A and B are shown apart, each in its own frame.
Chain A
Amino acid sequence: MTATPLQNQGAQTLGGGGSTPDAAAPGIDADQEIIAKVLAGHKDSFAVLITRYSDPLYRHALGMTGSPDVAEDILQASFIKAYQHLGEVRGRFDAWVFRIVANSCKDWLKNIRRTHVSYDEDDQPSTYSTPEEEMDRNELRTDLQFALARLAPSLREAFVMKHVEGRSYEEMALLLETTVGALKMRVHRAREALQQLLEEKYA
């Protein structure tokens, strides 16, 4: 059984949290089996794929849009689209569904042209040790998102995948169907742009 980039990421970052035992060590073969079940009429089996991939896909949508509400909507629409076109999956399901989400995020960014973003729309618990530290980091978070919103979608995507999702360049190349060299260049460009935008205040 071969592990997939999205699952590896989920396992690294979640430590199995929020996943079912079935999702603990899944792989491409397991995905194909589930797809076959769903296509044979077992609709409930699709829940396994959702459980397996929703966290990394949600993080990608959140990183790209900056809005928990929008990220949820994109995740939902993407899984519905994936379900409706499940019979057309060729190759890896994880890479295929990732591209649906990634394209949806880029479409959203193009259509909305939103520059103000905030992660504060939901009620994730605070993990800061002191109120001062929380204020300090909230300010950086806001400034970082504001700076990210100024990047071109391809640069933002590369930065989010590398820094927020913690992927290797090889994983990114597989998911985005491009070369490691091109992705390194995008990440470097994104870092330089962000640094230029932030260093006046923070460096």
Chain B
Amino acid sequence: MMLDDAGFERNDKITGNEPAQRKDKSAERLYDREVPLNGTSGHTLLHDWLDGEVDVMRASEVEGKSKVELWTRINAESEMLRRRVTPVGVQQRIMASLPETPTATSWWKQVTPVSAIAITVALLAVGALIIQALR
């Protein structure tokens, strides 16, 4: 079985700083692409079923019983994970670790493009008035 290690390069020394050692470039591309490769990622009834667009009987007829059974098991496992909740005490821990006040936003981050243009026009107008008065 070829494996994709894009971003997960297996490294015997997991130091976080070691250079990535890609072991199988072709496999990496297989799982990392969004554009389908030839012969893969065709739009199938299996996807339609998993997306809730066709019923299980139809998917099973066309795609085969074994694939549908595999995905039924995967879905059951996913359902289990979907019931997970934040462990007790985590929310309190987060609150306890917050700084006293939120960092104030820098004034320049609050300036929108429209207000920036308005300020520039106003400054130019004031400048023009001053120059005129000096003449």
Contacts and interface: CB of A to CB of B under 8 A. Distances in A.
B1 interface: yes
B16 A114 contact: no
A59 B90 CA distance: 13
B113 interface: no
Contact of B98 (A83, A115, A191): A83
Interface in A159-196: 163-166, 169, 182, 184-189, 191-196
Contacts of A194: 74
B69 interface: yes
Residue from B14, B16, B80, B85 having most chain A Cβ neighbours under 10 A: B85
B50 A191 contact: yes
Contact of B33 (A127, A140, A189): A189
Main secondary structure of the interface of A (DSSP, over half): helix
A165 B8 contact: no
Contacts of B75: 163
B10 interface: yes
B82 A113 contact: no
A137 interface: yes
Interface of B: 1, 3-11, 14, 16, 20, 30-36, 40-41, 43, 46-47, 50-51, 66-67, 69-71, 73-78, 80-87, 90-91, 93-95, 97-105, 109
Given A144-B74, A191-B71, 9 more contacts: A54-B94, A62-B81, A75-B86, A76-B94, A76-B97, A88-B109, A153-B7, A197-B3, A199-B67
